[in-house]
Structure 1
Amino acid sequence: MLRLPIQARGLLRAHRNSPLRYRHAPKPLTRPVRRGFTSSSTTFPAWSQFDRSDFTNQPWTGSYEPDLPTTGPLASAPAFGAPRVTPRTLKQYLDQFVVGQDRAKKILSVAVFNHYQRVQELQRREEENAELLAKRARREAIEHHPVEDEFPGQQQTVNTTPEIGTLPTSAQPGLDDSSELQLEKSNILLLGPSGVGKTLMAKTLARILSVPFSISDCTPFTQAGYIGEDAEVCVHRLLAAANYDVEQAERGIIVLDEVDKIAAAKVSHGKDVSGEGVQQALLKLIEGTTVQVQAKQERSAPRVGNSPNTFPSNNPLGNSPFNPNGGNMPQKGEVYNVRTDNILFIFSGAFVGLHKVIMDRISRGSIGFGQPVRGSALTNNRSRDHTPGNNEPIPILPGSEEEALYKKHLPFFTSATSPNSPDSEPTYFNALDLLNPTDLQNYGFIPELVGRVPVTAALSTLTTPLLVRILTEPRNSLLAQYTTLFSLSGIELRFTTPALHKIAANAFTMGTGARALRTELETILSDAMFETPGSSVKFVLVTESVAERNEKPIYLARGQGGRFHSMIAAEESKWEEKVRQEKAEKSKDKKAKTRPADELPPISSFREYRTQTAGF
């Protein structure tokens, strides 16, 4: 064995550790070693290689066609997302324009939402069927190849895909129905006194949904062939409101006002052409038919480029916006065919006297053999109290007979008034809330028409507090309208709180609902609107004395702004003190009624005992 000196061994070790030392490259392999990929069903050769740009013959690849239905775990998932508009948002939008009527707004919001969900689903099905038909046509064009021979012009085709034999139809037991689920529409009936917001709610919903909208009065309707308007006029007006866009008109809203005027007459000496005859004509429209409309420009229809009002550009429940300035201008003599299957019909009316029919049904008992007998005095009192001459509403208090009556005939009813919150607005008794389809038949409507209007919403009489809120709260309130009207002349108009309550109290006695508020304001401000424009008056104040019509509105010039605001503050402070005293008296009376027996003053006679403890 060769042994190197110690110095030589140190030099050799340093040479091996030096980075400048030359290293021989490893000898390359002639062929990389690969193992074959084995799955449960297929074994691939060792030369197979994964390439990101080539998925051919790979077990983890597949094909996808967007026209085919979704398969796999997502097959049961809905094809549509959450709606952008819900019944809750519709009611919140109605709250900005309509005060009170919470129960009616809920019913109307749900009914309109369900209807346009149905319309959207039908539109989606139509688009899907059209897409499938187009795809089938493309496949047939690919599978059938034209035969080319020596005969010019011959276009015979041959199917390149052989057909697979099927079993005879006689071998299949029974009949197979592959039709889709049909969604039926639910029309709406709004009933209540005049001026409570029936038409306003329908107009507001039509505005937010961006759909064509028309109102027709049922009073001049007569049976076809008689003098008067035909029932199909409502479809003509809807098409004119849509600027003769048939597709948009077929998804619009038709409001038939004063529908109670077409009730069948109790005693008829001839053919009822304005009652039952009109109901039969409306029955055909509601059920669904094709109405031929000849082009005729309506006077109230918006013209292209001249309409100042435009609806929003997007439909919250669909993808087809409605533009009142769009559509095609009608040509003279052109005929349009309008289907009424998807048109939402909203009936509205005051139905004077219907509360008597309802209370008569509720008050009936039985003594055997189906013989009717009058019930308790509650229903008789309700029928007497709800006469047109007596407008004072009856509150539904917890534990009262009215609450028991509502819980019996209405689902999930709870009284809005709590014993611990005396300032809350109570729920008032309304006999129309207890409506039954048989009541409408007894009123004079045919059963076929009543059965096709399943949704009913009753509106209550407006009370004085609600009228005060109507003056101030809505976006287009009367107070804001008149304030803006005076500001156009450079005049500031103000109302004190006592004046607003007095105006609402005077309007309540008129019996025309919220429309009486405008009558009151026009009466009070008529002189001010005549005298102040163009004068030195810069401030107009309406106080409680002015609302009582004891004096004219107070006029103040430009330099009297301090006096103007001091007069407002003085009257507001008096009103607050008055309200505070009334609340103290109410709480005192309530404590006196609920005071224990040991705290009562000494009783010296039976009459005092009967008055203090028995309450009579």
Structure 2
Amino acid sequence: MASHRPVAAFLCPALEVPGLPASQRPISGGLRQAYLALSRRSLSLAATAPIRSTSQFRRSDFANQPFTGSYEPGLPTSGPLGGATPGLPCDLTPRSLKQHLDQFVVGQERAKKILSVAVYNHYQRIHELQRRQDEEEELLAQKERRERHPAEHDFPGQQLTIRMGGPATGHVRANTAPPLVDTTPLTIEKSNILLLGPSGVGKTLMAKTLARVLSVPFSMSDCTPFTQAGYIGEDAEVCVHRLLAAANYDVEAAERGIICLDEIDKIATARVSHGKDVSGEGVQQALLKIIEGTTVQIQAKPERNAPRAGGQSPSYPTSTPLGSGSQPAKGEVYNVRTDNILFICSGAFVGLQKHIMDRLAKGSIGFGARVTKSGGRLQSASKDQKSTTANPIPILPGSEEEALYKQHLPFFTPAPAPEQLSADGSPAEPNYFNPLDLLTPADLQSYGFIPELIGRVPVTAAVAPLTHSLLLRILTEPRSSLLAQYVALFSLSGIELRFTTPALQVVATNALAMGTGARALRTEMETILGDAMYEAPGSSVRYALVTEKVAKRQERVLYFGRGQVGSFHTMIADEEGAWEASRRPKSARGPDRGPASEEPSASFERWRSKTTIAAGSGG
């Protein structure tokens, strides 16, 4: 068996000393360096040896991409995150926000675009302010580190370092005043939003959806109980209280949240003959500084029904405006700045359309004014403020409505041709005339809002009333559609619920007649499925079908057992086939349906014979 010689003997055999063990023989400095180099070489070879990879630890998302080995706060970020927007996700753009809204809100294209742009610009502004603040703090820390003497503050009694080299004040002339230099950086003001339109069209849903995707605190406050300070009711500062509670009493997070002031049209100035308008102009005055930016002092009090030290809670209900969140200490005061809080105001503004139509009608008088046709649709709409909601006016090419939109709205898209088809083959949905799209600050002032409050909400987005086609899409298309909710509700009991297409059409028609927007769809669904939700769970029913007759209240919901799945699908196919046949043009329904169903050759022969007879008679 071969003997193992030490590594040093192979590197330098002349240094071997016979008679001494290897551990006691002297080793020179060069031999030590060679030995360490050989050891490092063996370690590097072992590190580069192939390692069996597993799916649990293998990383392939940064393949062929440079990575950042070190991070310096004062230097720009390198690597894959170098081009990312600071503080925002890489793919967050107004277009992506609008696409996210499309998954939950149907229609309202112009309002969704305006809201997406306003929210994106607001949070770009917030993150830019945060970046400037971090940069100023880092520069101040660097300045303090440069100016601090190495031996300063080392022992008590050490004198501060005297800075030399400054300009002598005695040689400054008395008549040369130093220039005034303002180094304040550019300030980007926030733009609050006003959503106005009828109830049940998606104003609140759009605000909630954007707040959820941005992961920011969101609170909603109803302006109806707001009163002026000192009167019975809620103060305007309650909206900031609720936002702080929604942020779990995190002041920094609350100062970047979203406050939705719903039913803001209810605080319009009322023309009272006596007394003081405490719920109108007084509330508007209180909201001025809150919306523009001020410091709100909040003295958080624990809930009355919160458990006490003895483990008992009182039986009386709570009356504090604060919602959920961790309970703060007793008497703790929070100072919340509202400069960076985005305010989204929404309201139905019933009767505002009449103010707008009256203004448009007055603009048709005088030299250089636009001439309005007498007895036109706009004049009839100005007389009846409900006409544009019950019977919406389509914006046709070359019409008076299209001229108004092109004059007042930027980037107006003309209405599609009547014969143009949409992506799914159905007729294209036309654009309908909405007087709220032509809103001006003068209209809001005539409605009862003070000019100071109007100027603090510069962005306005009008939402249009829902049509039959939009209600049908709301029923089926969104991710959290009403139809999907009831199908999932029945599936929890082991029942498959199906609606035929004619039944959905009837549901949308009945909901449109109610006049409460998308909320009428749930009322209609509850009316149809009320008995089924009572009888089907716990029974032998495995399939429930809603047909057109069921939606029209002519029959009850059809039930099928476990062995009747064939009849269930056959009835669905029969009603769907009849529906498709009724939608086909008369010329395509089959033979014996008039001259349009004749063969092309017969039609051509008839046309040629008529042409020949006409030519002979003319000769």
TM-score, L = length of structure 2: 0.74
Equivalent AA in structure 2 for residue 155 of structure 1: Q
Question: Does the 8 A contact of 1:143 with 1:160 survive in 2?
Answer: no
Are the counterparts in 1 of residues 351 and 385 from structure 2 also a CA contact under 8 Å?
no
2:511 to 507, 512, 520: 507
For 1:79 and 1:494, locate their aligned partners in 2 and report how far apart those are by CA, in whole Å: 46
**How far did residue 378 of structure 1 move?**
3.7
2:245 to 240, 254, 268: 240
1:360 alignment counterpart:
358
Q: Which range moved further: 373-382 or 518-527?
A: 373-382
Preserved CA contact (<8 Å) 1:219 1:259? yes
Equivalent in the alignment of 2:160: 157
Secondary structure of the residue aligned to 2:362 is coil
Structure 2: which amino acid aligns with 1:131?
E
Cα shift at 1:297: 4.7
Residues 160, 68 of structure 1: CA spacing in aligned structure 2 closer, same or farther, 3 A cutoff?
Answer: farther
Q: What residue in structure 2 maps to residue 383 of structure 1?
A: 382
Q: Which sections of structure 2, spanning at least 5 residues, go unmatched?
A: 1-70, 77-82, 307-322, 422-426, 595-606, 608-619
Moved more, 198-207 or 260-269: 260-269
Change over 3 Å in CA distance of 1:67–1:83 after alignment to 2 = closer
**Contact 2:221-2:262 at 8 Å conserved across structures:** yes
Deviations 1:384-412 (A, max 9, x none): 45417961211111122211121121112
Query: For the structure 1 residues 174 and 138, does the alpha-carbon distance in structure 2 shift closer, same or farther, using more than 3 Å as the test?
Result: closer
Counterpart CA distance in 2 for 1:300 and 1:505 is 47
Alignment correspondent of 1:289: 294
SS in 2 for 1:396: coil
Aligned pairs, number: 491
Among residues 141, 147, 161, which one is paired with 1:140 in the alignment? 147
State the partner residue of 1:51.
Answer: none
Alignment partner, residue 221 of structure 1: 226
Q: Deviations over 1:562-611 (max 9, x none)?
A: 000010001011111111138979xx9xxxxxxxxxx9xxxxxxxxxxxx
User: For residues 126-525 of structure 1, what are the structure 2 equivalents within 5 Å?
Assistant: 126-142=133-149, 145=152, 153-159=156-162, 162-163=165-166, 168=172, 171=176, 174-297=179-302, 329-365=327-363, 376=374, 377-384=376-383, 386-387=385-386, 391-421=390-420, 423-525=427-529
DSSP-derived class of the 2:516 partner: coil
Alignment of 1:98-117 (within 5 A): 98-117=105-124
Q: 1:374 to 1:272 in 2, by over 3 A?
A: farther
- Inter-partner Cα distance in structure 1 for 2:587 and 2:475: 24
C-alpha deviation, 1:162, in angstroms: 4.6
1:363/1:375 contact within 8 Å kept: no
Change (3 A) 1:185 1:144: farther
Which SS does the other structure have where 2:454 is aligned? helix
Q: Using the alignment, how far apart are the partners of 1:403 and 1:278 within structure 2?
A: 38
Equivalent residues of 2:303, 2:327 under 8 A apart: no
CA distance in 2, matches of 1:569, 1:98: 30
Cross-structure match for 1:542: 546
The Cα shift of 1:489 comes to 0.7
Aligned residue in 2 for 1:31: none
1:413 Cα deviation from its structure 2 partner: 1.0
> Equivalent pairs: percent with the same residue?
67
What aligned pairs does 1:77-88 form with structure 2 within 5 A after superposition?
A: 83-88=90-95
Deviates more, 1:376-385 or 1:276-285: 376-385
Structure 1 unaligned segments of length 5 or more: list them.
1-64, 71-76, 302-323, 589-598, 600-616
2:33 alignment partner in structure 1: none
CA deviation after TM superposition for structure 1 residue 174, in Å: 4.0
* Deviation digits for residues 454-481 of structure 1 (CA, Å, limit 9, x no counterpart): 1000000011111111111111111111
Pair 1:490–1:372, CA change in 2 (3 A):
closer
Q: Provide the rounded CA distance (Å) in 1 between the counterparts of 2:587 and 2:137.
A: 68
Change (3 A) 1:426 1:335: same
What CA deviation, in whole Å up to 9, does each residue of 1:497-552 have, x standing for no partner? 00001000000000000000000000000000000100011110000000001111
1:492 is displaced (CA, Å) by: 0.4
1:225 Cα deviation (Å)? Answer: 0.3
Quote how far apart the aligned CAs of 1:133 are. 1.6
Q: Among residues 543, 548, 552, which one is paired with 2:556 in the alignment?
A: 552
- Paired with 1:418 and 1:493, the residues of 2 have a C-alpha distance of 38
The answer to whether the Cα contact below 8 Å between 2:115 and 2:193 also exists between their aligned partners in 1 is: yes
User: Compared with structure 1, are the counterparts of its residues 299 and 252 closer, same or farther at alpha carbon in structure 2 (3 Å cutoff)?
Assistant: farther
Partner AA of 1:336 in structure 2: Y
Q: Tell me the amino acid that sits aligned with residue 344 of structure 1.
A: L
Aligned to 2:5: none
Structure 1 counterpart of 2:411, one-letter code? F
- SS in structure 2 of the partner of residue 466 of structure 1: helix
The change in CA–CA distance for 1:79 and 1:110 in structure 2 (over 3 A counts) is closer
The structure-2 alpha-carbon separation of the partners of 1:566 and 1:128, relative to structure 1 and needing over 3 Å to count, comes to: same
Output the TM-score relative to the length of structure 1. Answer: 0.74
- Any conservation in 1 of the 2:84–2:90 contact (CA below 8 Å)? no
Structure 1 pair 190–146 and aligned structure 2 pair: CA distance change class (3 A): closer
Structure-2 separation of matches of 1:503 and 1:271: 47
CA deviation profile, 1:135-166 (whole Å, cap 9, x unmatched): 12222223674698xxxx41212247754769
Which residue type is aligned with residue 284 of structure 1?
K
Q: Do the aligned partners of 1:146 and 1:158 also contact (CA within 8 Å) in 2? A: no
Q: Deviations over 1:23-55 (max 9, x none)?
A: xxxxxxxxxxxxxxxxxxxxxxxxxxxxxxxxx
Over the aligned positions, Cα root-mean-square deviation in angstroms equals: 3.2
Give the Cα separation in 2 of the matches to 1:410 and 1:105. Answer: 15
